[in-house]
Homo-oligomer: A and B are copies of this chain.
C-alpha cells in the first residue's frame, strides 16, 4: 500500500502539531497547547480528547500549580504504537522505530552493501525493523540495541514505514529513477516490494528530503523557508518552502548533484558530464581524487581522518569541495532566499569544507539575502533521516485517523 500525496494541512494546530508539542515538552497541559497553537481552549480540549481516544496521548496526573488549578499533564504514551524508518546510505543504513510523536524509540546503524541489490538489502532491513518493532522500547537508546524480543511491556504495533533512498525517487509511486552509485536499483519499486512484506502504509522518499524534513521539524519548525544540504558519499539537498517539503514537478527538487561547477581539471562524473558538483565535492569524489594523487585511502572515513589530521592534500580537496558547494548554494540562496541553510551528512563535520562553503556563500550572495541568513550544521545528524521519514509517515497515519 502506497501513499500518493503530501500532507495538506498539519500546519496550524493540526493534531500532529499538538502531538509534537507534547512530545517535545513544549506543552504539558491543554492550556499550554492553547497558548502555543492560538486555538481556543475549547477547541484544544476537543482535539486532545480525540487524541486520547485514539491512544496517541494520555493523561499522567496533575502537574505543579502556578497559582491556580493544577494542570492535567499530558504525555505521549510509551510502549505504544510506533512507525518504522529506514535511512539507507551508500555504506550504512540507520534503522529505527519512532513513536507517533516522532521521537526515536530504538535505532541502530547497520552496514550495507548497496550493490547486493534491492531485494537483498531491503529484505534484511525490513527484518530489522520488524525485530525492533517487536522488541520493547528503550526510549533513550541511540546505539545498537539487542533485538531480542523479551516478554515485558506491550510491543508497539507497527503503524507505518518510511524509507529514505540515496538517489532520485518518484515519491508518488515509490520508484527509483536512474540513481548513480546504486547498481541494480534503477526502476525498482521500493514501495511495492515492501508492501509485499509489511502490511502498513509505506512512504519512500529521497534521503536528502527526509533529512530536510527531520531537521526542519526538530530545529527550525518556526522558519518558513529552509535549505538542507546532505553531503556524504553523494550530494543532495532538501527544500522546505512555506513550512512544507518542496518536491517540485517531478519530485526531483533539490537534486543539485549534477550542477556544473568550475574545477580544474573538471573530473568526469558518472552521468557522463564533467565538472558535476557530485564529481567534485561528494565524499566519493574526494576518495577518488585522493587516490589519483597517490594517497592510499580506504573510504570516506579515511578521508575525513586525513583532513582532521591536517593532511594538506586532503584539506585542499575539502576546501575545493566547500567552494564548489558554496558556489551552487550561492545561486540557490539568491534565488530562493531561505532563512537557513544547514549542512548535514558526514562531510558536515569537516571544518575546512564548511569554512570554504561559508566564505563562498558570503562572497557570492546578495547582501540582502545573507544578512540574516543562518548557516548551520544539521543537528542530531545521525537520527535526522529516520526522524524525517517517521514524520512523513505519521503525518499520514494521524491525518487518516
Contact = CB atoms under 8 A, between A and B. Distances in A.
A143 interface: no
Contacts of A259: 330-331, 334-335, 364
Given A225-B249, A249-B225, A373-B249, A178 B368 contact: yes
B260 A364 contact: yes
Given A262-B262, A337-B252, A368 B225 contact: no
Contacts of A244: 242
A16 interface: no
A207 to B, nearest CB: 16
A224 B258 CA distance: 24
Contact of A250 (B239, B335, B337): B337
Interface in A249-289: 249-256, 258-260, 262, 273
A224 B250 CA distance: 11
Given A241-B241, A241-B242, A335-B239, A368 B330 contact: no
Nearest to A253: B337
Interface in A304-318: none
A231 B248 CA distance: 24
A373 B168 CA distance: 17
Contacts of A248: 225, 336-338, 369
Contacts of A339: 249
A332 interface: yes
Given A177-B368, A368-B178, A256 B336 contact: no
Interface residues of A, number: 45
A372 interface: yes
A337 B237 contact: no
A328 interface: yes
Contacts of A110: none
A246 interface: yes
B334 A256 contact: yes
A328 B328 CA distance: 9
B332 A255 contact: no
Contact of A332 (B250, B327, B335, B372): B335
B258 A366 contact: yes
Given A225-B249, A250-B372, A366 B255 contact: yes
A239 B242 CA distance: 13
A65 interface: no
A177 B366 CA distance: 11
Contacts of A256: 331, 334-335
Interface string A332-349: 101111110000000000
Contacts of A332: 331, 335
Contacts of A293: none
8 contacts: A225-B246, A237-B335, A242-B244, A249-B337, A252-B337, A255-B366, A256-B335, A331-B332
Interface of A: 168, 177-178, 224-225, 237, 239, 241-242, 244, 246-256, 258-260, 262, 273, 327-328, 330-332, 334-339, 364, 366-369, 371-373
